[in-house]
Amino acid sequence: MSTPVGRRELNKAANREAIAGAALAFLRNRALNEFTVDDVAAEAGVSRRTFFNYFSSVEAAVASFTQDYLDSVITALEARPVDEPILESAQLALADVGSPHDLAVLAETFALTQDPALGRFQLQAWDECTVKIADVARRRLPQGTDELYINAMVGAVVGAGRAAIVVWHERNGTDTSPTSLAQLRELLATAIALIRNGFQS
């Protein structure tokens, strides 16, 4: 992957970040229907129309954080050796990923899921993630592996992974101290282990 960094790309990245950040900032203080796209655009130093060049709604802007986190997980997963058992790869990828800052934002946006309109977009991010992971799994598992096996496994992993984050968030709120983050990694690892071993108990 090349990294062509001209002013064009930099400006776009900066705008995108400014807009998403501004949206999140507003949500810290007010509910979704208590401010407008104009407000966010102004805060981001950009016109209303430009806002919509980047995101189709405030909800989408906020969901971009979740998308970015999940993409980083997928990148980590793809970096694992292909001969490693795939669920072990998943476990290790999850253990590695996420700077404290990124996880803090993840926890924060997770809290916002209370608002259904925001929640929908987060769910969509998870769903897209599921599709992408299924592609990775399809490439790594033996040719001709049953599609049900692949999709059920990935669906289960993502479902259980999300459950781990839900439980973590319920226990720790938006605390992202090293201790709390260690607990998150632990929960994620346990969740994947459950998928590997089944719920036969």
Partner DNA sequence: GTGCAAGTTTGCACTCAATGCAAACAAGAA
Partner DNA sequence: TTCTTGTTTGCATTGAGTGCAAACTTGCAC
120 near a copy of itself, rule: CB under 8 A: yes
| Cα-based angle 140, 144, 145 (whole degrees, multiple of 5) | 65
Q: Return the residue matching tokens 């608002």.
A: 115
Give the binding range for DNA (CB under 7 A) out of 20-28, 44-52, 126-134, 166-174. Answer: 44-52
Question: Who's near 184: CB < 8 A, 6+ residues apart?
Answer: 103, 164, 165, 168, 172
CA distance 92 to 72: 13
The partner in contact with residue 11, picked from DNA, a copy of itself, none with C-beta cut-offs of 5 to 8 angstroms by kind, is DNA
CA distance 29 to 180: 24
**Which of 1, 2, 3, 7 is in the footprint of DNA by CB under 7 A?**
7
160 near a copy of itself, rule: CB under 8 A: yes
Q: Residues 25-39, buried b or exposed e (16+ Cβ, 10 A)? A: ebbeeeebeebebeb
* Minimal distance, residue 177 CB to DNA, in Å: 35
The partner in contact with residue 177, picked from DNA, a copy of itself, none with C-beta cut-offs of 5 to 8 angstroms by kind, is none
Q: Return the residue matching tokens 């899921």.
A: 113
- Considering only residues 40-99, where is the footprint of a copy of itself by CB under 8 A? 87
* Minimal distance, residue 53 CB to DNA, in Å: 5
6 near DNA, rule: CB under 7 A: yes
Q: Return the residue matching tokens 């996880």.
A: 103
Cβ distance to DNA smaller for residue 37 or 194:
37
Give the binding range for DNA (CB under 7 A) out of 40-48, 132-140, 157-165, 172-180. Answer: 40-48
